Amino acid sequence: MGARSLHDRSSSSVIGNVKETPVYLDKNENPFRLPPSLREEIRQLISSIDLNRYPDPEGNKIKQVLSELTGVPEENLVIGNGGDEILSMLFTAFIEKGARVVSLSPTFSQYPELCRRHRAEWIPVPLGIGDKEIDFDEDLFIATVSRYSPALILVDTPNNPTGKVISNNFLTRLAESASGVIVVDEAYGEFSSSTFLETFRNRMIPGKLCILKTLSKAWGMAGLRIGYGACSPSVSSGIEKVRDLYNVGLLSQEIGAIVLQYREWMESRVLSIRYMRDQLIQVINRIPGWHAYNSDSNFVLVRSDFSKSLLLDQMEEAAIHVKFLDLDSPGNWLRVSIGREDELGRFVSLIEKVR
């Protein structure tokens, strides 16, 4: 997709009396449908599976496939109803009332929400959001962890909503120095050039570490709700103590095991999304009053000089959904998911006309 094509695919939000099909660029979903061969495998599975039976409470089949994919032993893998459930189990297992939790800021909205639910103290470490770039102060994060001795440390990389990736060298340094449980949330890791999980292929995950992954993003299975954690033994055993017996359904386990066999398809879609992401950033940064930050994820953080009320009205009229953010920095902020080429074209066409 070239920069020109982002403009060529745009169209009016209303044609005659018919409203334009809504464009959803607000949930960081993979915009591509599954390939026909995979869809056929799933169809055959559904027609043959015995839904009167409970799922495997241990998830052995999908764990075996995940182990082959990641190089992590099955006994150190935990599966959940999306990554969100694993996060919830981590809080249940390791957080008591009044415990401290350190994370980046801004970050995934569920982190402070889980702190609220579990009556924990959330201690955010701010990212430096400048006019053109986003900086991460590694020493400040380490100092904050040292000062507060949190029971749980949450690092999302790439970070949501900035797309900032945290280096593996820093994560190793953190894992070696912190005493609490460390969760490296790699929900968007496949869109980056490297992941922390890759460094533990065929190696024991050390200390109190959990690397969180999901099938919702790069694998395009948001509706399936499967997440998994690659954990050190102490963390996996802690999660298993609080996990519900049948927390992942039969269909999700069986379909997930099939989907994970299509790694080449996933990687090709990821390459397409990366390319469209980088093209979108270039195009936005040529439009007066707008700035898009570099990203290692399947979304882009965008700053606008125009008022939020104006942007909301324009987006609503055009049936384009993006995520509006309240950040502690000047300007109005949007997180824009990478959709299909025609969808991004409509978004670009709209923001070019905002005055």
Could you list the mean pLDDT of each consecutive 10-residue stretch along the chain, which spans 355 residues? 47 46 96 94 94 95 97 96 97 98 97 98 97 96 97 98 98 95 98 95 93 97 96 96 96 97 96 98 97 98 96 96 94 96 97 92
Task: Note the pLDDT of residue 20.
Answer: 78
- β-strand pairing of 181-185 with 209-214: parallel
Whether residue 97 contacts residue 184, with contact meaning beta carbons closer than 8 Å, is answered with no
Token pair for residue 205? 């995950």
Ordered by start, the domain boundaries in the chain are 3-34+264-353, 36-261
The owner of tokens 């029971």 is: 151
pTM of the model: 0.93
Task: Note the pLDDT of residue 17.
Answer: 39
Task: Note the pLDDT of residue 1.
Answer: 44
DSSP-assigned letters across all residues of 41-81:
HHHHHHHH--TTSPPPTT-HHHHHHHHHHH---GGGEEEES
> 36-261 adopts what CATH topology?
Aspartate Aminotransferase; domain 2 (3.40.640)
Which contacts qualify for 137-141: CB closer than 8 Å, 24 or more apart?
138/170, 138/173, 141/102, 141/104, 141/170, 141/174
Task: Note the pLDDT of residue 16.
Answer: 38
CATH 3.90.1150.10 at 3-34+264-353, yes or no:
yes
Paired strand residues for 122: 101
Task: Note the pLDDT of residue 19.
Answer: 67
Whether residue 290 contacts residue 305, with contact meaning beta carbons closer than 8 Å, is answered with yes
Residue 28 to residue 218: CA distance in whole angstroms: 10
